[in-house]
C-alpha cells in the first residue's frame, strides 16, 4: 500500500466515523422527540411511512427493515388503535395496513414534532440540502455493482 493509498484510506475511515457520529446524534435527538408522544423510533417510522394502504412487506421496505421486525411494530400500533389490518382487495392471502382516524391524528402530531426543529443543527437549509445530496450520491454509488 502506497502512502497515497494509506492517506486515502485514512480519509475514508475518518469520513465514516463522522457520518456514524452524525447518525448517532440524530438518532438520539429523534428518540427523545418521539418519546415525548409515547413512540419508539420504529413506531414513528411506521407511522411516518404509512402514507396509504399497504402490505406489511411494502411497509417494511419503506422502513428499511425485515417484515418479521415490522410485525412487532404493527402489532403494538394496532393494540394502540393507530393501525388496522384489512383484507387486501386483490390478494386474499395478504392484509393491507391502514391508519385509523386516531393513527392519522398521531401521524400529524409526529410530523409536526419532526419538523419543529431540524435534526441536523448548525447547517443552513442549503447546506443540509447539499449534505443530503452528497450522502444520497454516496449511498447510490455504494449500491451500484462494480464491473
Rounded to whole angstroms, the Cα distance separating 140 from 86 reads 35
Q: Show the domains of the chain with their CATH numbers.
A: 9-117 (1.10.10.10)
Q: Which residue has 426543529 as its cell numbers?
A: 117
pLDDT in tens, 66-125: 999 999 999 999 999 999 999 999 988 889 999 999 999 999 999 998 888 766 778 888
Q: Quick one: cell of 23?
A: 447518525
Rounded to 10°, the helix 101-116/3-35 angle is 130
User: Which pTM does this prediction carry?
Assistant: 0.79
Rounded to 10°, the helix 67-79/41-49 angle is 90
Closest by alpha carbon to 79, among 38, 49, 113, 34?
Answer: 38
Amino acid at each position: 500500500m502506497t502512502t497515497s493509498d494509506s492517506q486515502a484510506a485514512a480519509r475514508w475511515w475518518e469520513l465514516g466515523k463522522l457520518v456514524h457520529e452524525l447518525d448517532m446524534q440524530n438518532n438520539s435527538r429523534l428518540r427523545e422527540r418521539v418519546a415525548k408522544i409515547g413512540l419508539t423510533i420504529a413506531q414513528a417510522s411506521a407511522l411516518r411511512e404509512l402514507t396509504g394502504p399497504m402490505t406489511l412487506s411494502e411497509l417494511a421496505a419503506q422502513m428499511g427493515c425485515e417484515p418479521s421486525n415490522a410485525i412487532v411494530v404493527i402489532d403494538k400500533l394496532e393494540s394502540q388503535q393507530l393501525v388496522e389490518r384489512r383484507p387486501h382487495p386483490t390478494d386474499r392471502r395478504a392484509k393491507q395496513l391502514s391508519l385509523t382516524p386516531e393513527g392519522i391524528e398521531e401521524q400529524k402530531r409526529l410530523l409536526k414534532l419532526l419538523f419543529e426543529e431540524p435534526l441536523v443543527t448548525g447547517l443552513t437549509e442549503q447546506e443540509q440540502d447539499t449534505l443530503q445530496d452528497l450522502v444520497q450520491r454516496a449511498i447510490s454509488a455504494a449500491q451500484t455493482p462494480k464491473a
